[in-house]
Amino acid sequence: MTTLSAELDHDAVNLIRGFAMDGPLNANSGHQGTAMALAPLAHVLYSRLLKFDPANPTWADRDRFILSAGHASILQYSMLYLTGHGLGLDDLKAFRQWESATPGHPEAGHTAGVEVTTGPLGQGFANAVGMAVAERILGARFGTEAIDHHTFVIAGDGCLMEGVSHEAASLAGHLGLGKLVAVYDDNHITIDGKTEIAYTDDAPARFRSYGWHVIELGEVANDLDALESALLEGKSVTDRPSLLVLRSHIGYPSPNHTDSPAAHGLAFKPDDVTRTKAVMGIPDEPFWAPANVVDAYRSHASQRGAAANQEWTARNADLIKSPGWIACWNSTGVEGWSDGLPVYEQGAKVATRKAINAALDATVEAIPGLVAGSADLTGNTGTKLAGQSAQSAANPGGRQIYFGVREHGMGSAMVGMALHGGVIPVGGTFFVFVDYMRPAVRLAALSSAKACFVFTHDSVGVGEDGPTHQPVEQLATIRAIPDLHVIRPADANETVAAWKDAVGHDGPTALVLSRQDIPVVTDGSAVEFGAGIVRGDGDPDIVLVATGSEVAVCVEAFEQLAATGTSARVVSMPSWDRFDLQNTGFQRGIFPPNVPVLSVEAATTLGWHKYADDVIGIDRFGASAPGDVVLHNLGINVDHVVERAIALLAN
């Protein structure tokens, strides 16, 4: 691969370091020191290693680059500017400003060339593991002539301290992800001070124990050829992921702030920038970007990227027109993919966790990008794909992923898989354990990652395991996450509809499903609009609204109320967020004005007063006993619903 001249190398590194100081200084906000120290590494990656086409940033076979240390975002923006991804100097000058293309941390879908949304430390590292899994699955499906690229990630001390990186690194080593190359920026600095005050791990030994190939580079942070050689060695190892341990010096080459904890943040004031630029030998002007350097860099990136992309496109001309390829990269199924979905008869009793398994099995062949797994609860959560083998180094095309007891790592890997493209990841665990993976679920919503989180054992109906496993508060917490599509289906038919809805949705979906068998009482149509009438189409005296297994309770209450002359309506409301998108006319058709509404849900009542005049819920932790006993004793029973409905009508 051709490289830039030594003079251009030198000027480019200085330009990047200048931007690393100028962008945060101009914003009076940001992190300067890490971006300065890693300027040579970023330059080598983008000018010598990474396969990408600036004119087509979403090219399927590009290498993926993730800056897990997302606080150093000015580094990535500098590279996207230099390589011609669409950022201009005005964008760099608008760093961290309202509606700019250069926000404080990289955001997927917001800035061309940014693969994942990073910032919470460790998440990007774990996303990279998911991207490497997706690459391997797709390479096995379509062949290495079509899919053959690497995932590179830069992580810092903070990323490696966060627990999610331990889970993800362990999984990556177990799977033998040979196309994953991580660079550990070992700068010995955190916000509180030297890392030694809190962190004395032998990180190379830890990663070797995970099964990684580890290269301890030492003091080569400014040696471009040594960096290139190490990265190429990492690429050449195909049977395991590689970790490059790079001893860098934060804030280098500042005469005052090199190796200073202050350089982690906004240490460089105007005088500091002036002194550092003098050491570097560049003009003391903000955003110094000589045209000859920028033009040569962009020309170099464009020429090699366009050539690689054009050759790939010609080689795969027929493949990329095929239904399977199109379905994968559109994150959907082939034509007619949903035709074989099951339909359940009214009155049948089926746990919704079993219904999702049936829906997945019915579509696994028609949705070629579907992959599924769980955090050691595959059978329990309905995420076992019929006829599919386990993903492993020996079986790169395996679509069944055994994540092990790693909810945090699973969630983050799913986000990486979704943002890589070509796959639709489905991952399951018990609903109470959403706490372990909440950061990943939140970032999935923030980045519109099309992942399906299957949360089962959704209420105190879990039973004997007791309050530690009974997620009374979790529905409220995930409903509070913007742009997370949450569905708690009433029965098996709504679960099937929920899976169809999740495949059609353009972001993440959380399916909240029951452990226990529950009666089929709906036709599934409520899912599309977020709510629907299950019983009582006429003019009701009262509306009973519920989600999940409580819809069947309300159906029984409806019958008892009818026997007393009370005209009730039962509404299933599987998705608040979808219902809130409907027009006022539809919403009033569900909840007629001036008709009292009673909600019933085996969870905390937070939020229900938006829709209901009175609420039945569980504003306490659960208890250990058979599930039906716990539900009954905590007020989720027909008699209690009837009693509260009559009382509400009497007010």
> Which residues neighbour 507 within 8 Å (Cβ) at sequence distance 6 or greater?
444, 445, 448, 449, 450, 483, 484, 485
Q: Are strands 518-519 and 349-350 parallel, antiparallel or unpaired?
A: antiparallel
Rg of the chain, C-alpha, whole Å: 27
3-state secondary structure of 551: helix
Rounded-to-integer distance, Cα 38 and Cα 72, Å: 9
Q: How far is CA 79 from CA 36, 50, 120, 549, in A?
A: 13, 12, 21, 52
Helix or strand holding residue 493 (H, E): helix 492-504
Q: Which of 107, 135, 407, 494 is catalytic?
A: 407
Residue 431 is given by DSSP the state: G
Q: How far is CA 433 from CA 462, 513, 549, in A?
A: 13, 13, 20
Q: Where do runs of H (alpha helix) occur along 180-321?
A: 203-210, 224-236, 270-280, 291-315
Rounded-to-integer distance, Cα 441 and Cα 451, Å: 9
> Which residues neighbour 495 within 8 Å (Cβ) at sequence distance 6 or greater?
352, 355, 356, 359, 489, 511, 513
Backbone angles phi, psi at 349, to 5 degrees: -115, 120
The count of other CB atoms within 10 Å of the CB of residue 596 is 16
Where in 119-201 does DSSP place strands (E)?
A: 151-156, 180-185, 189-190, 193-194
Closest CA to 268 of 593, 604, 540, 37: 37
Closest CA to 627 of 560, 558, 549: 549
Rounded-to-integer distance, Cα 484 and Cα 475, Å: 12
Q: By the 8 A CB rule, do 146 and 119 touch?
A: no
> Which residues neighbour 303 within 8 Å (Cβ) at sequence distance 6 or greater?
none
Where in 169-289 does DSSP place strands (E)?
A: 180-185, 189-190, 193-194, 213-218, 242-246
Question: 69-86 burial string, b = 16+ CB within 10 Å, else e?
Answer: bbbbbbbbbbbbbbbbbe
Would you call 407 a catalytic residue per the annotation?
yes
**Any idea which residues carry the catalytic annotation?**
407
